Structure 1
């Protein structure tokens, strides 16, 4: 399969990318980023797009792909709701709609977060906005559309984009809280399997991601 990945300069996108590069079911990977990701690999191509709202200008490079693993995003800490909505909801929906027009048989996976609020009515700003984004994506007629709600994710050893604050708990947290913990390998493998096998749910919690990642 041929896969587009966003967010490779962040921890989740980088982890999904590394799994795709080592997975035999993936033949080609295009990372779409605002900043350069320094890695050379025979499967890998890079498309630098300074403004995702102008993604349609790069339509020719985005055609004939089987899946998009949308891992781009920002932390909500210190960000006002309108700014967070523009990046999380507006940008994602615009990107998805452009890809849908180019690749109607595509599977589109979106990384949200544990405790995302599907009602869009809760007190947590980030959870409401993520829920609004999930709900809007679910209405788009992709071949498959899945929303990943991971908890803690242990990165690959070779990952470069891991925030220093997480490093002290990388090995401790999964041992203490295994039910809410995943590895980036599991997340990447589960994403790939949504393309090859699909899944019975469109919103995937930690337990679903673990189940789907097995034997992929």
Structure 2
């Protein structure tokens, strides 16, 4: 299986990249991002794009891939709906449409978040935008599309969040997370489980297109 990964420097993306590198059935990983990652591996190649909306200029390098794991995202804190939509909806759809045109047999997996609003009309701005993005991705002409809605994510194997507030949260919550995960398995997943679930769904498919935390863990 050949995989394209966006957001490899983020917390979820780091975990997904690790699982792809470890999985024997993943033969090639193309990381696309604004800056290089500090990892060298025989499976790994990169396209550095300061402007990700220009992905269409690299269509020759995007051919022949089986899956895209889209882990790229920004916090909505302090952003207007227009700005958040431009980064979350417009950019994501620009990238996804380019990939779909190059690989109609591709499986696309997108990370949104617990509480995403599929109706697109709720009171939470970020949830509306994420819901609109999910709905648009599910309509794309690809082999399959899966929307991941994780709640609390436990970073594993040295994975670190780029967001300072998240790093502080995990610093204090880390000792309790394994216990909380046993008590509340429907609400807590891990970077390892997310990565493994993405690979398994890309390989075998699944009956559910929108996966909450419990669904991710079950896969």
Fold conserved between structures, TM > 0.5: yes
Displacement of 1:160 in angstroms is 4.2
Q: Distance in 2 between matches of 1:171 and 1:211?
A: 24
Displacement of 1:174 in angstroms is 4.1
Q: Distance in 1 between matches of 2:120 and 2:37?
A: 34
1:168 corresponds to: 172
2:209 corresponds to: 202
1:28 corresponds to: 28
Q: Distance in 1 between matches of 2:59 and 2:127?
A: 31
1:93 corresponds to: 93
> Residues 80-159 of structure 1 correspond to what in structure 2 (within 5 A)?
80-159=80-159
Q: Which consecutive unaligned segments of at least 5 residues does structure 2 have?
A: none
Shift of the 82–161 alpha-carbon distance from structure 1 to 2, 3 Å rule, reads same
Displacement of 1:35 in angstroms is 1.3
1:77 corresponds to: 77
2:17 corresponds to: 17
2:186 corresponds to: 179
Q: Could you tell me whether the CA contact under 8 Å between 2:185 and 2:214 is conserved in 1?
A: no
Q: Could you tell me whether the CA contact under 8 Å between 2:68 and 2:107 is conserved in 1?
A: yes
Describe the superposition over 1:145-197 as per-residue Cα deviations: whole angstroms up to 9, x where unpaired. Answer: 00000111111222244542222213413422433111111101110111111
Q: Which consecutive unaligned segments of at least 5 residues does structure 1 have?
A: none
Q: Could you tell me whether the CA contact under 8 Å between 1:174 and 1:181 is conserved in 2?
A: no
4+ residue runs over 6 A deviation? none
Aligned pair count? 212
Q: Could you tell me whether the CA contact under 8 Å between 1:117 and 1:128 is conserved in 2?
A: yes
Describe the superposition over 1:108-148 as per-residue Cα deviations: whole angstroms up to 9, x where unpaired. Answer: 11000001000011111110000000011111111000000
More moved, 116-125 vs 175-184: 175-184
